[in-house]
Structure 1
Amino acid sequence: MKRFCLALDLVDDPALIAEYEQYHEKIWPEITASIVDAGVHDLEIYRIGVRLFMILEVGDAFSFEQKAAMDAANPKVQEWENLMWKYQQALPLAQQGEKWLLMDKIFDLKVQ
């Protein structure tokens, strides 16, 4: 099992943030299926202000490239992503077309 953490910002508008959170109270079943089919076992999103933080728990066979290819071929995922972009904005350091950015782990406390 692997864990990845990603970040993205929301548009700084309280009404849009509220709408975004409402969509995430019950995401479309096709989106849930696409996430599971890509090998994601657990996914959580946290928010503080406009900053989003996503934690993915994935199997060893998971690949971001494979998930991107699956998403690109899925019209419902593309519809969801286009809708969510109304609420999201790229981080300042994102390259053109990047949304969620993978974060680097800089500390890990393991208590035995």
Structure 2
Amino acid sequence: MQRFCLALDLKDDPELIAEYEQWHAKGKGWPEVRQNDLKAGILDLQIYRTANRMFMILDTDDEFTFAKKAQLDANNPYVQEWERLMWTFQQPLPWANEGEKWVRMDKIFQFDT
């Protein structure tokens, strides 16, 4: 299993943030998008928020790559429509590359066992 952590900002508007959270409430996500994620090798996906900053945890199988995920996403009209809809609520991090949404985070600490 692999784990990836990513960050993205929401537009700093309480009404937009509330609507974004409604789209992510249990049972509200699009099943076609979930199936695409499963096909890409995503085993679990969690999103946390503080103010307008979001943090995503992706747990994936060992064969998962972001290139494979991007290819599946590009060929799935439901994912494309979902991403267009979500972008109405989201904004790139100040240091994101052109066209980059979720930015991968570097692990800087872990308990020694």
Question: TM-score of the superposition, structure 1-length normalised?
Answer: 0.97
Which ranges of structure 1 fall in alignment gaps of 5 or more residues? Answer: none
Residues in 1 aligned to 2:71 and 2:7: alpha-carbon distance in whole angstroms? 21
Number of residue equivalences:
111
**Structure-to-structure mapping, 1:17-96, within 5 angstroms:** 17-25=17-25, 26-96=28-98
Residues in 1 aligned to 2:40 and 2:91: alpha-carbon distance in whole angstroms? 24
Per the TM alignment, residue 110 of structure 1 is displaced from its structure 2 partner at its CA by: 3.9
4+ runs deviating over 2 angstroms: none
RMSD of the TM alignment (CA)?
A: 0.7
**Structure-to-structure mapping, 1:97-112, within 5 angstroms:** 97-111=99-113
Percent of counterpart pairs with the same letter? 60
Question: TM-score of the superposition, structure 2-length normalised?
Answer: 0.96
- 1:38-79 residue CA offsets vs partner (Å, 9 max, x unmatched): 000111000000000000001110000010010001011000
